């Protein structure tokens, strides 16, 4: 497969703060790739290095087999959708979208045609002569997208593009972005701190923490096979048992995590009859919180070894179920459902 981007041993620091540590990353052509991590984890700096706004202290950036480490942003066939959109406030929608064509000194009707086409794709036909200040947040977002796409870049970088939108609009734009990516068949590199967004849109995800990449994998693997406790904790809801409590409770010699949907809840000892005790971990739990979450309940238990554990209980059949705080239960999950964590 064609390599769209190759980062080799990228290091970058600002003064005493090391923003990127030994970043190695290869992204294939046409991938929807997410850089996921908490704020300050280095994902935006990584994006800036790819775009050319920041030069790495060490390492090389290769885009489609061309070494671009020292090439300025205006010479890279990479365009960016900025977090605050960075629309030129003095230009209308058409002028904003046509900017990259204008600075290349392109002339003739083909320019107008490309602008029309891209505006139609992002559903902004008819807004041509509005100023950014006269648009809603979602519309500004589309202008930023159209502006970055009109020049048909080889890679599109998106820096938390949906961060400023409300939940409903965000979900709608997620679908549209994915459609646009399929339509243009170009590589998207998407920076986000929202794990839900990364999981639902990406082909692959790189999880950033403290300037390092912790894990690169498909959403399914990131979710089900987190490589360490940071990834496990950051992606979705999970309960982590450290090495000590794992040893005390289950005589297991390493830390592990378990997803709440894999946890079963039993009221009494005799209810356990139906399961094969060799295949399960079983523990005592005391309810400390019970939240209604629509399709299910989220119940938080404290266990004997001072660990906390979350479990989902489907509300199918009986919507009015409730678990009283301080009531005691037995909790169990399959040995095969846990993820062993390397600290």
Partner 1 sequence: MLFKKGSINKLNQAGLGLRFGAIAGLLFLHIPLLLIILYAFTTEDKSYQFPPPGYTLKWFEVVLNRQDIWNAVGLSMRIAIISTFVAIILGTLAAGALYKKSFFGKSSITILIILPIALPGIITGISLRSTFGVMGIPFSTWTIIIGHATFCMVVVYNNVVARLRRTSPNLIQASMDLGANNLQTFFYVILPNMGTAILAGGMLAFALSFDEVIVTTFTAGQQTTLPIWMFSELIRPRQRPITNVVAVFIMFITFIPIVFASYMASKTSESEGSTK
Partner 2 sequence: MNNFLDSFSNFAFRNKNFIFLSFLIIPLLWLGVVYLGSLLIFLGHSFFHLDGFTGQIVYEFSFKTLLELFSSPANIDILIRTVVLAACVTIGSAIIGFPIAYYMAKFTSPKVKIFLFIAIMLPLWSSYLVRVYSWKLILAKEGIINWFFEKLNLEWLLDSILSTPVIGGPSLSISYIGMFLVFTYIWLPFMILPIQASLERVPNSLINASHDLGANKRQTFYKVILPLALPGVIAGSIFTFSLTLGDYIIPYIIGTSKFFIGQAVYTHQGTAGNIPLAAAFSLVPILVMVIYIYCAKRMGAFDAL
Select 39 or 342, whichever has its Cβ closest to partner 1: 39
Between CA 57 and CA 9 the distance in angstroms is 10
Q: Phi, psi at residue 175, to the nearest 5°? A: -65, -45
Which positions from 185 to 214 touch partner 1 by CB under 8 A, shown as an x/- string? ------------------------------
Q: Phi, psi at residue 198, to the nearest 5°? A: -65, -45
Select 74 or 270, whichever has its Cβ closest to partner 2: 74
CB of 105 to partner 1, least distance (A): 9
Strands 256-258 and 239-241: antiparallel
The verdict on 45 binding partner 1 (CB under 8 A) reads no
Q: Phi, psi at residue 252, to the nearest 5°? A: -110, 140
Number of residues in the chain: 343
**65: CB partners within 8 A, 6+ apart:** 3
Tokens of 174: 């997620």
With CB cut-offs between 5 and 8 Å by kind, which of partner 1, partner 2, none does residue 55 bind? Answer: partner 2
Closest by Cα among 170, 179, 162, 173 to 81: 162
CB of 72 to partner 2, least distance (A): 5
Helix residue ranges per DSSP H, the chain:
43-51, 93-103, 109-121, 137-149, 167-184, 195-201, 219-224, 229-234, 243-250
Between CA 268 and CA 332 the distance in angstroms is 12
Please tell me the number of Cα atoms within 13 Å of 79 on its side-chain side: 19
CB of 311 to partner 1, least distance (A): 42
Q: Phi, psi at residue 281, to the nearest 5°? A: -95, 135
Select 51 or 299, whichever has its Cβ closest to partner 1: 51
Select 89 or 108, whichever has its Cβ closest to partner 1: 89
Cα–Cα separations (whole angstroms), residue 188 to 56, 179, 184, 257: 21, 12, 10, 31
- Say how many residues touch partner 1, by CB under 8 A: 26
Q: Which of 66, 75, 123, 295 binds partner 2 (CB under 8 A)?
A: 75
The verdict on 103 binding partner 1 (CB under 8 A) reads yes
CB of 101 to partner 2, least distance (A): 17
CB of 60 to partner 2, least distance (A): 16
Tokens of 41: 């984890």
Between CA 159 and CA 115 the distance in angstroms is 23
The verdict on 280 binding partner 1 (CB under 8 A) reads no
Select 121 or 148, whichever has its Cβ closest to partner 1: 148
Which positions from 43 to 72 touch partner 2 by CB under 8 A, shown as an x/- string? ------------x--------------xxx
CB of 155 to partner 1, least distance (A): 12
Q: Which of 53, 304, 322, 327 binds partner 1 (CB under 8 A)?
A: 53
Which positions from 142 to 171 touch partner 1 by CB under 8 A, shown as an x/- string? -----xx--x--------------------
Q: Which residue has the tokens 């086409």?
A: 117
Q: Which residues in the 185-244 window bind partner 2 by CB under 8 A?
A: none
**Interface residue list for partner 2 (CB under 8 A):** 55, 70-75
**Interface residue list for partner 1 (CB under 8 A):** 51-53, 72-75, 78-80, 82-84, 86, 88-90, 99-100, 102-104, 133, 147-148, 151
């Amino acid at each position: 497969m064609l390599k769209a981007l190759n980062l080799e041993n990228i290091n970058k620091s600002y003064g005493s703060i090391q923003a990127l540590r030994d970043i190695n990353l290869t992204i294939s052509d046409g991938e929807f790739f997410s850089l996921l991590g908490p704020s300050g984890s280095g994902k935006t700096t990584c994006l800036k290095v790819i775009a050319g706004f920041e030069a790495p202290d060490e390492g090389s950036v290769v885009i489609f087999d061309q070494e671009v480490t020292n090439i300025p942003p205006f010479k890279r066939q990479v365009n960016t959708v900025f977090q605050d959109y960075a629309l030129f406030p003095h230009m209308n929608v058409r002028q904003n979208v046509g900017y990259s064509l204008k600075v290349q000194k392109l002339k003739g009707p083909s320019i107008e045609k490309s602008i029309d086409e891209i505006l139609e794709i992002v559903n902004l036909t008819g807004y041509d002569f509005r100023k950014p200040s006269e648009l809603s947040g979602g519309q500004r977002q589309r202008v930023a997208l159209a502006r970055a796409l009109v020049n048909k870049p080889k890679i599109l970088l998106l820096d938390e593009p949906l961060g400023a939108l409300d939940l409903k609009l965000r979900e709608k734009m997620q679908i549209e972005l994915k459609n646009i990516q399929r339509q243009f068949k170009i590589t998207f590199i998407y920076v986000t701190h929202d794990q839900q967004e990364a999981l639902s849109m990406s082909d692959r995800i790189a999880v950033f923490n403290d300037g390092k990449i912790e894990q690169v994998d498909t959403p399914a693997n990131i979710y089900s096979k987190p490589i360490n406790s940071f990834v496990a904790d950051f992606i979705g809801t999970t309960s982590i048992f450290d090495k000590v409590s794992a040893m005390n409770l289950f005589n297991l010699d390493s830390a592990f995590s378990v997803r709440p949907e894999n946890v079963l809840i039993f009221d009494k000892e005799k209810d356990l009859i139906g399961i094969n005790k060799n295949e399960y971990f079983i523990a005592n739990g005391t309810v400390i919180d019970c939240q209604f979450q629509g399709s299910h309940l989220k119940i938080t238990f404290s266990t004997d070894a001072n660990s906390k554990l979350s479990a989902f209980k489907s509300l199918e059949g009986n919507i009015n179920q409730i678990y009283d705080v301080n009531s005691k239960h037995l909790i169990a999950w399959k040995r095969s459902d846990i993820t062993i964590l390397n600290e």
